[in-house]
Structure formats: C-alpha cells, structure tokens
Structure 1
Amino acid sequence: MEALNVELINFLKEETLEPSLIVTEDLSIEDDLGISGDDAYEFMTAFSKRFGVNLVGFDYSDYFNSEPSWLGRSSEKKALTVGMLNRAIEERKF
C-alpha cells in the first residue's frame, strides 16, 4: 500500500472536527472515531463524493452498528479502517 492520501487525512480531520487527530492506516472508523448509525451513512456518502469512490455493493451493516454502542463493535462486524478507505481511493471502488 502507498502512503496515506493527504487529502484523506484532511477529510478525516474535518469530519471529526479534530484538527490534531493522528491518522494511521489501522485507525477504525467506528471504534476509534465513534462514527456509526446515520453518521456512518453521512460519512461514507461524503467520502464517496469527495474521492469519487463507487459505493455500489458496500454494505453498511458489515461495518457499522445501527446506533452507537458503549460496548464497542459487534463481533460480527468488520472493522472499517483508514487503510481500507485509502485503498478504496486508489481503486475508485469499495
């Protein structure tokens, strides 16, 4: 994998309103950034538009809880990471 896309790093800082956020490829969108439910849909829509990534076939329920959970991600959910978003930008699809 190539280095993280600088525009992706900026996007994450803007979306989380955390200008000092330290972004690594293994950072989890739901677990580390707390994005889930309707916010996850809005986040992925904004990501798709900004980077021209096709989300056809992307199943939100594979990666996100429908509502924030104090217990963390369900064991049935996959972790969506910054590295995965970076790869999707390179490939223009998920």
Structure 2
Amino acid sequence: MENRSWESLASFIRHEARLSPKEAIAPGMSVEDDLGQHGDDADHFMQRFFEFFCIDRGDYDFHRYFLMEGEGLLYHFFSKYMMRRKHSLKREPLTVEMLHQALLNGKWDSGALSPRDG
C-alpha cells in the first residue's frame, strides 16, 4: 500500500473498527478504549494494519499495549500470587497518532513511538 496519508489511515480505522463515517478520528484516540479493540480483536486489528500498509513490525509486542483475551483479575491473581510470576494489568496506551507515525516511518519502533513524559 503506497498511500500513507492520514486519510488512508482514517479510512482503514473506520473500516476495521466499524466506526461511523460521521465519527471523528483524532490522533489522541486510544486503539483499545476509543476504538474498542481488545484481546483477539486488537491482535487482528494490528495484524491487518501491518499487512494493509506494508509496515515492518519492528519491535512491536502485543503484550506491551493489550491484555490477552481473558486476561483479567482472576488471571492476574493466579499468575502473580499463585504462580509467583511478574504480572501487571497495566499496559502502555496505543494511540492513533502512534499508528500514524509508524505509517509514515514504515516501521514500528516502540521507543520512538512511545509518548514521552514531560
């Protein structure tokens, strides 16, 4: 896919997240919270994003941004306290702006795409 414009990304998001053409898409929108992509749906959304725009996956890691399907409080308790594994329910938010930057760069680079505190 050669078209790396904001409009092509917005069109892709509308189609994949099944958003109304009237709904505004803003850079600060969260893929999980605002676009409703969770678990397996988020995994499929991101796979289609990389394939549709021919983006190099780079260091993209699903678990950095999303919880697995069924990974809730019970899973957290079991992993952390019963299995004594390091586990957290907190994930880094993945935004539309991050998708746009990866689209422009042609590659996913978590360090460059992550929001900076500041």
Q: TM-score, normalised by structure 1?
A: 0.83
In structure 1, give the amino acid aligned to 2:15.
Answer: E
Match of 1:82 in 2: 96
SS of residue paired to 2:94 = coil
Percentage of matched positions with identical amino acids: 32
CA distance in 2, matches of 1:67, 1:32: 18
Q: TM-score, normalised by structure 2?
A: 0.67
Q: Which one has more relative contact order, counting CA pairs under 8 Å at least 6 apart? A: 1
SS of residue paired to 1:41 = helix
Structure 1 residues 61-70 or 44-53, which shifts more?
A: 61-70
User: Does 2:57 correspond to 1:59?
Assistant: no
| Unaligned residue ranges in structure 1 (runs of 5+) | none
Structure 1 residues 22-31 or 33-42, which shifts more?
A: 33-42
User: Does 2:25 correspond to 1:23?
Assistant: yes
SS of residue paired to 1:23 = coil
4+ runs deviating over 4 angstroms: none
Larger radius of gyration: 2
Match of 1:32 in 2: 34
| Unaligned residue ranges in structure 2 (runs of 5+) | 73-88, 109-118
Structure 1 residues 35-44 or 80-89, which shifts more?
A: 35-44
Structure 1 residues 12-21 or 26-35, which shifts more?
A: 12-21
| TM-superposed deviation, 1:65 | 1.3
Asked if the contact 2:17/2:36 (under 8 Å) is kept, the reply is no
User: What do residues 37-92 of structure 1 show as CA deviations (whole Å, max 9, x unaligned)?
Assistant: 1111110111011111111321100101113789xxx4x20100000000000111
Give the paired residue count. Answer: 88
